């Protein structure tokens, strides 16, 4: 299992560039969101009252039957950030757990073995494959866990997760660059990981209004069983949006594992509100 490490640029060896023309084009045009846009993220707080107003509709969504669901928080966050989603999914009848690893430090090599151990334990206790829901970096961890142990994971749902470039196309990119971290090398290593096909169905929820992660970086051009769903909210709002909760409830209720055919001609600028790859 090769996962990127945040190492100083002076010690990083050269990495091979992405080997797909589409990925190369996307990498050239992508930029991290401007810091000035962060003020828009305060609008995500409006999702909480909207969530309450739509509670009746959300309560009527398909019910679970005790299937295990593990929630993975974003960078710098812990289980407290997913407590409302956890409560909602428990209401629907799922057996939901937080990841139980404290604050997400962003140290992927350190976190991955612990996440896999947590998933394995949950799967053994329930005698079922686990459903993973990851917010931002938590979604990246969920995808990599599914890449390593598809036998343990039934489905992955990501919220505003960058699958291209890691931190390079997020608002923390400038901070990492000032610390001497080679973001280009991280990007190349992630692209190498992306060449290993995911066998677990993935639903990638993203928003063009995201001021933390460039929405284009949330588009998986390598996966053959990835569904992209665009919503109208902010990065913060993804964790409290009634629209997002409804999508999650419907995808979790779909116990089948459909094989989505890859599309070879779609580009990020042509993505509609919802499509399958």
pLDDT tier for residue 145 given thresholds of 50, 70 and 90: very high
Q: In what order do the strands lie in the sheet with 202-206?
A: 95-98, 68-72, 130-135, 153-159, 202-206, 226-230, 274-276
User: Are β-strands 153-159 and 202-206 bridged in parallel, bridged antiparallel, or unpaired?
Assistant: parallel
Percentage of the chain exceeding pLDDT 90: 69
- The alpha helices in the chain, defined as continuous H runs, are 21-29, 47-53, 55-59, 83-91, 108-126, 137-148, 173-178, 183-194, 242-253
The reported pTM is 0.83
For residue 13, the model assigns a pLDDT of 30
CA 216 from chain center: how many Å? 13
pLDDT tier for residue 92 given thresholds of 50, 70 and 90: very high
**Which residues are registered as beta bridge partners of 230?**
206
Answer yes or no: is pLDDT of 162 > 80: yes
- What Rg do the C-alpha atoms of the chain give, in angstroms? 18
Average pLDDT over every residue of 139-147: 97
Closest C-alpha to 41, from 240, 244, 237, 245 = 237
CATH number (3.40.109.10, 3.40.50.620, 3.40.50.280, 3.40.50.1820) of 18-26+36-255 reads 3.40.50.1820
For residue 37, the model assigns a pLDDT of 87
Average pLDDT over every residue of 55-71: 96
Beta carbons of 123 and 152 less than 8 angstroms apart = yes
What does residue 202 show for φ and ψ, rounded to 5 degrees? -125, 135
d(CA 136, CA 67) in angstroms, rounded, equals: 23
Beta carbons of 160 and 239 less than 8 angstroms apart = no
What are the residue boundaries of the structural domains of the chain, listed by start? 18-26+36-255
User: Are β-strands 226-230 and 274-276 bridged in parallel, bridged antiparallel, or unpaired?
Assistant: antiparallel
pLDDT in tens, 15-54: 333 444 444 444 457 899 998 889 989 988 899 999 999 9
């Amino acid at each position: 299992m090769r996962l990127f490490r945040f190492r100083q640029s002076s010690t990083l060896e050269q990495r091979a560039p992405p080997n797909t023309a589409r990925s190369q084009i996307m990498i050239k045009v992508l930029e991290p969101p401007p810091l000035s846009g962060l003020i828009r993220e305060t609008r995500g707080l409006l999702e909480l009252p909207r969530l309450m107003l739509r509670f009746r509709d959300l309560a009527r969504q398909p019910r679970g039957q005790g299937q295990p669901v593990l929630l993975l928080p974003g960078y710098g966050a812990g289980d407290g950030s997913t407590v409302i989603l956890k409560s909602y999914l428990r209401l629907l009848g799922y057996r939901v757990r937080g990841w139980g690893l404290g604050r997400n430090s962003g140290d992927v090599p350190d976190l991955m073995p612990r996440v896999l151990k947590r998933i394995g334990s949950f799967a053994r206790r329930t005698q079922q494959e686990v459903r993973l829901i990851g917010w931002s970096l938590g979604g990246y961890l969920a995808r990599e866990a599914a890449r390593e142990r598809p036998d343990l994971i039934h489905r992955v749902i990501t919220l505003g997760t960058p699958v291209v470039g890691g931190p390079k196309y997020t608002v923390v990119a400038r901070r990492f660059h000032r610390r001497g971290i080679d973001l280009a090398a991280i990007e190349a290593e992630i692209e190498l990981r992306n060449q290993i096909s995911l066998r677990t169905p993935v639903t990638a929820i993203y928003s063009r209004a995201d001021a933390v992660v460039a929405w284009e970086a949330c588009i998986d051009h390598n996966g053959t069983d990835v569904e992209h769903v665009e919503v109208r909210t902010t990065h913060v709002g993804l964790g409290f949006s009634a629209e997002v909760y409804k999508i999650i409830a419907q995808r979790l209720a779909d116990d089948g594992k459909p094989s989505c055919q890859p599309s070879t001609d779609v580009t990020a600028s042509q993505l509609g509100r919802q499509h399958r790859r």
